[in-house]
Structure 1
Amino acid sequence: MKGIILAAGKGSRLYPMTRPVCKPLLPVYDKPMIYYPLAVLMQAGVRDIMIIIPPGEEGPFYRLLGSGARFGVNICYEVQEVARGIADALLIGEQFVGGDDVCLVLGDNIFHSLDFENYLHQATAREKGACVFGYYVADPRAFGVVEFDESGNAVSIEEKPRFPKSNYIIPGLYFYDNQVMEIAHNLKPSARGELEITDVNLEYLRRGELHVVKLDRDFVWLDAGTADNLLFSAQEVKRVQDETGRYIACLEEIGYNRGYISHEQLQQLSGELNKTLYGQYLECL
């Protein structure tokens, strides 16, 4: 399975913060925002990763993440010249994905749960179709809303409905088999001129191959795309880390736990960061 992170948005909802700095490079408490979706892919066992970035941002991203070798993964970068919607990431990454399955994650979404790797295993273990997640929110009108039947099967998806049929939305994490490339090529732009990821999911639903896994109500999902959400996300990350003593999206720890890097490499990395709480956390692993 290949992984794609869509991190190419202008971040206009965060202006003026994102005029000089690309949104995925902003801090969310003690780590850059891009660490969080990258952690999701690593936790899912994905090691070949493409990050789709805005024009002119190759240098800052490479200085931060490089080739991914320090975490035991392989990272490449591709530029999205014009924002054409989430599903456009699949077309940009077509050659990268090749004949493999793909996991697409949005660059400003944060996921955390003690059982998260079990959810990810449910998604990656499927050999056919698509797997997405259902997350309960109080007001789902700003999202893609999924409706379930009495047996818990998804029966409809609506993008930003005025009258939602449920309180479950589909957050920005999508697992697809290779059929998704053919589906993406046949998409038509929506009324706002974008290739909608909801249309991809609807096609899988039409084919009877969309699996929606409901996340528990204590699952933490955050969209850090506005100033209020960015602040709340930072506070929530700090709260969870303080309460559990475990760091969210610690890429070095994930790489070490999965056997991607050795303990010697981990200690070398922690030494580079030993003036920070993050580095001191690594030293104790």
Structure 2
Amino acid sequence: MKAVVLCAGEGTRLRPLTYTSAKHLIPLANKPVIYYTLESLREAGIVDIGVVVSPNVEEEFQSALGDGRAWGIKIEYLLQRQPKGLAHAVSCARDYVGQEPFLVYLGDNLLQYGVKEPVQRFSQSQAQATLLLTEVEDPRSFGVARLNAQGNEIIELVEKPQRPPSRLAIIGVYLFDRRIFEAIEQISPSGRGELEITDAIQRLIDQGHRVTPQLLQGWWKDVGRPEDMLDANRLLLEGLQTVIRSPLGPEVIVKGRVEIAEEVLIERSELRGPLIIGRGAQIHDSFVGPFTALAENVRLDKSEVEYSIVMEGAQIEQVGRIDHSLIGRGVHLWRRRRPPDAYNFVIGDKSQVRLI
């Protein structure tokens, strides 16, 4: 079995971070999102992986992932030249997949327990497609599956229904055989001008092919928004164990589970886990609170950071308390010692600026 990881989305809900980096390469617990996907696929025994990317981020992904040998896998990059929907993105992998069954994984999704069990079940089944489903409180924001009376086949898919037929939402993992490509050829663009994967799967159902459900075990996160990124970071840090690889400086207080990499300098500060600190970070006279990830070479001075992701090379100096924040690579935040005489702005459309 092969896998196809879809990473061609523009990540508009995560701007401005995604103006300079693909959302799949934003770190959670100090590892890019897509690393968790690749590890999950390797654990499931899948070593041939096609990564669907848009031309503007192909080089960035190649630089970050290479040919996959770091994970014991083989990566091939597949271009989706225009954003025409999920079904179109899947069709870009047709030649790569060939006649093999394959797994489709949306690159901005995280699953607590990975995909090993779904892969095994699909391999042993006679289904032409399998969808991972999870129960949600309000299905109206999701694609929703309606099952047969026995609960072992999907008989209808409804996209964002006002009257949901169930609470079973479709998540971003699908397993297919080659028939899905024929179904994609037979569908038309939706009202938003895209080829929808749910329309292609519904075509399989209407033609009498067997489409089966698998209920997800454990948590699932779609990390398409800043608040989702922070929540996924929290979930990953929940499983952290204490590992301290650098000597602690004077007057350092550590509470809870903390992972500290090599070459880290910390002095006169309090660390309250779960939190992770990357190689080369420097922390002086500061507080780092729970559910925070400080990446490599971050510098923190006379500040407080809690429930946040601070990316590589960022500097935070004397800014007071930062909470529920995503701080990009190489950012420099600092506070002037006195209020400015005047403010100078270049502010984009529909911005909101609060001065305190």
TM-score by length of 2: 0.65
Shift of 1:275: 6.1
2:216 partner amino acid: L
Structure 1 pair 192/227, CA: closer, same or farther in 2 (3 Å)? same
Aligned residues: 249
Residue deviations 1:128-180 (CA, integer Å, cap 9, x gap) = 41111110111111111012244213332101111211111110100001111
| Residue 234 of structure 1: aligned partner | 233
Shift of 1:127: 4.5
Distance in 1 (alpha carbons) for counterparts of 2:15 and 2:184: 31
Distance in 2 (alpha carbons) for counterparts of 1:39 and 1:222: 16
| Correspondence list, 1:29-40, <5 A | 29-40=29-40
DSSP 3-state at the match of 1:84: coil
Larger radius of gyration: 2
1:63 partner amino acid: S
Distance in 2 (alpha carbons) for counterparts of 1:119 and 1:112: 13
Contact 2:41 2:115 in 1 (8 A): no
Residue deviations 1:167-200 (CA, integer Å, cap 9, x gap) = 1111010000111121122221111111111112
Structure 1 pair 136/90, CA: closer, same or farther in 2 (3 Å)? same
Shift of 1:42: 1.9
| Residue 135 of structure 1: aligned partner | 134
DSSP 3-state at the match of 1:165: coil
DSSP 3-state at the match of 2:19: coil
Residue deviations 1:77-113 (CA, integer Å, cap 9, x gap) = 1222211111112221111111111111101000112
1:145 is aligned to 2:144: yes
2:66 partner amino acid: G
2:130 partner amino acid: C
Shift of 1:242: 4.6
1:167 is aligned to 2:167: yes
| Residue 269 of structure 1: aligned partner | none
Shift of 1:274: 6.2
Shift of 1:21: 0.9
**Structure 1 gap ranges (5+):** 246-272, 281-285
Contact 1:36 1:109 in 2 (8 A): no
DSSP 3-state at the match of 2:133: strand
2:29 partner amino acid: Y
1:215 is aligned to 2:216: yes
1:125 partner amino acid: Q
2:53 partner amino acid: I
- Structure 1 stretches of at least 4 aligned residues deviating more than 4 Å after TM superposition: 273-280
TM-score by length of 1: 0.80
Structure 1 pair 211/60, CA: closer, same or farther in 2 (3 Å)? same
| Residue 176 of structure 2: aligned partner | 176
**Structure 2 gap ranges (5+):** 244-260, 265-275, 280-356
Contact 2:2 2:47 in 1 (8 A): yes
| Residue 310 of structure 2: aligned partner | none
2:219 partner amino acid: V
More helix by share: 1
| Residue 125 of structure 2: aligned partner | 126
1:235 partner amino acid: R
| Residue 155 of structure 2: aligned partner | 155
| Residue 189 of structure 1: aligned partner | 189
DSSP 3-state at the match of 1:183: helix
RMSD: 2.4
2:189 partner amino acid: P
DSSP 3-state at the match of 1:56: helix
Identical-residue share of aligned pairs (%): 32
More strand by share: 2
DSSP 3-state at the match of 1:145: strand
Distance in 2 (alpha carbons) for counterparts of 1:278 and 1:103: 34
2:233 partner amino acid: A
Question: Which structure ranks higher in relative contact order (CA pairs < 8 Å, sequence separation ≥ 6)?
Answer: 1
Distance in 1 (alpha carbons) for counterparts of 2:79 and 2:159: 27
Distance in 2 (alpha carbons) for counterparts of 1:230 and 1:124: 32
DSSP 3-state at the match of 1:162: coil
1:2 partner amino acid: K
DSSP 3-state at the match of 1:76: strand
Contact 1:44 1:124 in 2 (8 A): no
2:213 partner amino acid: V
